[in-house]
Amino acid sequence: MDNIHYISGEYLTLETVETVLTQKYTLALSEEAEHRIVRCYEYLHQKIGGAEGSIYGINTGFGALCNRKIPTSDVEQLQRNLMMSHACGTGAEAPHEVVKLMLLLKIQSLAYGHSGVQLKTVKRLIDFYNRDIYPIVYQQGSLGASGDLAPLAHLCLPLLGLGEVYFQGYKLASEHVLEMFSWEPITLKAKEGLALLNGTQFMSAYGVYTLLMANRLSAQADMVGALSLDAFDGRIEPFNELIHRIRPHQGQLETAQVVRELLEGSEIIVREKQHVQDPYSFRCMPQVHGASKDAIRYAGQVFLTEINSVTDNPNIFPEEDTIISGGNFHGQPLALALDFLAIAVTELGSISERRTYQLISGLRGLPEFLVAEPGLNSGFMISQYTAASIVSQSKQLCTPASVDSIPSSNNQEDHVSMGANAATKLYQVVHNTERVLAIELMNAVQALDFRRPLQTSPILEKLVAAYRDKIPFVSTDRVLHHDIMQSIAFLHTYTF
């Protein structure tokens, strides 16, 4: 029987999200969630029936048109028009793994029962998720305030039989996919279009994806860095707990402990050294990796709050008998965290590239460029160029998006977060850092082979053996692109 994750009011953790995605759980609504959705929908329509005044987005226009009253007979057309007019995305398509997360997080947010949507609308989004139907969402178009309007419009267009989707590897008009499953297009009711495209699920999906990846990269950076330290014949003293107790940042303490444990039992680390100190890229791993850990932890708390929140507008409170128009769609908390996370992950790549540079420099008994006959062979020389190029791009991508704002909607929406741009930049950064760590790993394993017959620690020898099973020693020049790609693949599969 398939694993099922029930959407409910239970607190959603990053670990749960990762399990649901990696173990390919199907989604279903809990009875509690169904009750909340139906209760809110019924309350809203009772309220509309007795309302004489204006309720934003329900019987009014949107944004700067909020003062335009809409006749009751046009309320459904209003929502359809909203969905179509806001589908203004452009640029590259969002990757499938992000779109799948968008579906999950939108379903979760609607299930709290403060949005006024039909039950069948939420269930259709669940159908898309469970059958791997990925609406085509474009990366450009969201200001990260008033929600991720354009991306979410594209995400939800297929509910109406509009837009395009990927299904089983093919790009199809959504109407054809609806026909395949004998699904009728959803007819949007009052408030429903606004509930679907007002929210932060584009930013949140990118945030969750990159957070999960950042946590993995942080662990990999420690292990690859420890291997480089040993291959460079580095010193263990800078990782002594006494040093870190007197400057007890949590990430710093954790990193020093991890590196000590990783190098336990190494023949190289305990032998007498000729040098008194190591370069900062080795000696200061606890301080640098640790600071990134703390930043990742902070971003994690922000996104945990966000994915357990309701972020559309207006919000409906059946128990309190009120509908309130506010600003929960504003992405400023996410934009700041996304920018911070990009800096933290870039630094993991930046210090990694420096360790690679030290390894190829012909220092401490290692041959220049980690090849037996330098000159005739260039060895690993250009792998460092590649890492430097990637790190430079990541540094450029760290220019904060969250400090920018361009007013929109006739200055009604006069301050925006630009969090969507922060999100898509961060996606590039995490993949860049993964490539840089893969290059360092390739260099570190090669350098270690020049220390033989000395052994590093049992943990790291296991890593090296698994790596060498996929990527052999470089004795003479060969096309290193293939080694780099295999090294990246290795980071995906090896348990760090």
Neighbours of 3 (CB within 10 A): 10
Annotation marks residue 298 as catalytic: no
Q: Between helices 149-156 and 201-231, what is the axis angle to 10°?
A: 100
Name 142's Cβ contacts closer than 8 Å, sequence gap at least 6: 89, 148, 149, 150, 151, 202, 203, 419, 420
What sign for the dihedral angle of Cα 242, 245, 249, 250?
positive
Among residues 25, 41, 43, 56, the one annotated as catalytic is: 56
β-pairing verdict for 26-29 and 4-7: parallel
What is d(CA 151, CA 91) in angstroms, rounded to the nearest whole number?
11
User: Measured in Å, how far apart are the chain's first and last C-alpha atoms?
Assistant: 30
Catalytic positions are 56
